Structure 1
Amino acid sequence: MDQLTDEVISFLQQNETNFLNKWKEKAMLPPDLTQLQREKLDSTGKFIFQVALHALSLPKADLQSYLQANAYKIAQIQIRENSDIEILVYNLNMAKNILCEKASYFSKEMQTLKKVFKHLSYIFDHFSYHAVMHYSRLKQQLIEQENRHIHSSHEDRLTLLGQMTSSFVHEFRNPLTTVQGFVQLLRAEYPDLPYMDIISSELDQLKFRITQFLMLSKKQEANQEEVIFSLNELVEQVASFVYPRLLELKVSLQREIEDSLYLKGIQEEIRQVIINIIFNAIEVMVTTDAESVILIKGYRDGDSIYLEASNTGPKIPDTLIKDIFEPFVTTKKTGTGLGLYVSRQIIEKHHGQLLCSSNDEWTTFTIILPAPLQKE
């Protein structure tokens, strides 16, 4: 450190109070500042002043590590006070201007102080850079920590729900199986008995809902094998299964499916996804006065099989569509928000994707699954 710099530092130290008063007068402050925050602002101004003067005295070899260490400290303060980074950058720049102005009073010969001004600018520019860098990293860490906490809480809720429902659903399934058995006996002994098809269909739908809860609890039996099956035949089975509901609510089901489409996976699980999407479409369309239409398209594109299920129900708001596959998110008044979540889990388990798009005319759920290498 040369004599001129030493003398400027001594001069600035004598004017510390004057600097702090002017800095507080011109500094940008967060809105609704409390008395405690004002006191902390005073200490921040003093911290900046002391860092700048000490940095002036350091050799170039030690300067960067010193600025980085103190930039990290001031970034921590900003994060802790929940203060925006642009306020810090503005206040650092203001501190530089005030220090340069104060230093100009040391000598009337500006050329004499040119080196000091240049050094101060270098110090504050690098101090601001490191402060912004550390602030951004700390903020990102904070966001990631909050996201992990939210995800953990989410998983805890699902685990608790799974534990609660698994026991209940298993107990409920036993008498349901008994009822289905007696329905089959009645149909065999009295083939002309009325309403048996309706009873059987409703029991199948109830079993389907139970399966959803079992999958959510992650305790469903894992004895199902992957097979190669016809998507065309599966859609036909689903159409027959949902037909009574379509007829009851006057919903038109239209199909445009290419011939000979095959998938590899657990057929019952894919069937569950398609039924769930169609049931959701039926339930949302009954709330509108427009014509109720479900259009199912199936086609192959490259190495992928696409199945699109579109409905003429109301548009899903843009604010909701990005979270539509999250658990407990639903557009239905009586919905649980679990059906689409379970459906996505199934499709992703089959190495596929489940997507959603919505406009004023159609809401479309698209299933994308890898095509099997061979049919047999």
Structure 2
Amino acid sequence: MASSKFVKKLTSMAIVGVGGVAAFTGISFYNGNEKFYENILMPTIQKVSGETAHELAIFLCKHNLFPSSTLKDPESLKISFFNHQLSNPIGIAAGFDKQGEAVENLERIGFGFVEIGSVTPQPQPGNPKPRVFRSPLDEAIINRYGFNSLGHAVVFENLKGMKERQRFKGVLGVNLGKNKTSENALEDYSKGLRLFSPIADYIVVNVSSPNTPGLRSLQSKKELQELLTNLLKIRESLPAEHRKPILLKLAPDLTKDDVNDIVTVVTNGSSKIDGLIISNTTIGRDDLKNETFARETGGLSGLPLKLKSTQLIAEMYSLTKGKIPIIGVGGIFSGQDAFDKIEAGSSFLQLYTAFALHGPPVVEKIKSELDGILKEKGFKSIEAAIGLRADGIFGSIFIQNKM
């Protein structure tokens, strides 16, 4: 009898305990508690594979299960983006929402704009699994997805449905890739430009992923000029309301000659584009602490990419005389990281790895810190700080290259 009472009491205590933990977890999750994410949720998610964690994050976003941001964006963060007004300059980079499934909740989390993709014309599975690897020790991710895409038709329907629900009021970018087996890159990008221009606010030509064989060769002078010239001609053939800005996404692993050639192309009349995204992932493996992680092939993102991308931003800003807007991406984990990118020449910013490793609270954290830095330095807006240190950072590149 006593034993039976003890079991019942133990069972009741267990139920109360589990209920308490569940309640705490739920409240912390929906309140966006930074310490809860940092110390409990994200370390738990790290125990599953990188791709499973990515799929879980997309599921939570798609079904509006992440908490909405409660932060009112500071006035200092407002900025004009290709004839759109952003409440803040921080977007989610392509590579997170590849299929255009989670756009609405990404805006609610606090991103100023959302870029989806890369999208390929035909569906393709991408590279064999496993293909995503995380190193919290390095604050980094290596991926070799290889443009896994449901294809133009499915992604277009996802975005069309989103637009019809009329809950998304933000700025949408569509990042275009080519199919792995395609022998005609221009045709692949042209199809995407024609299909998505009516529904997107800007289009990105991604010729810089390291995970599709031969793709980065499209950054060479002759091929890039031919590609961009033809895409711009196609844009001009579209109805006026469908002629959207075209941006080019660059690799961080360019030589000085590569950079000079690209500047010549993107500032040329017939191939002059509207903006640059700097940068994609790197194939470099400098100073990684996790040796097993470092041996994986693919594109490296996160903290180890920060300096390399910032230097390339400064270089391109200086060489183009600040006339081509830049979206800076690569290793942004704090407000200071964001400010460094702005001083190097970025007008806008994107996150990927910080969001994947630290969860939604990192978005508000970076915005709050960035606002504080701007105030501390006496800047009323981001525009006042764009490119202020570009020449100095640009010069340091050549010093390093000569050593």
TM normalised by structure 2 equals 0.21
Question: Higher RCO, 1 or 2 (CA under 8 Å, sep at least 6)?
Answer: 2
> Max radius of gyration: which structure?
1
The structure with the greater share of residues assigned to helix is 1
TM normalised by structure 1 equals 0.22
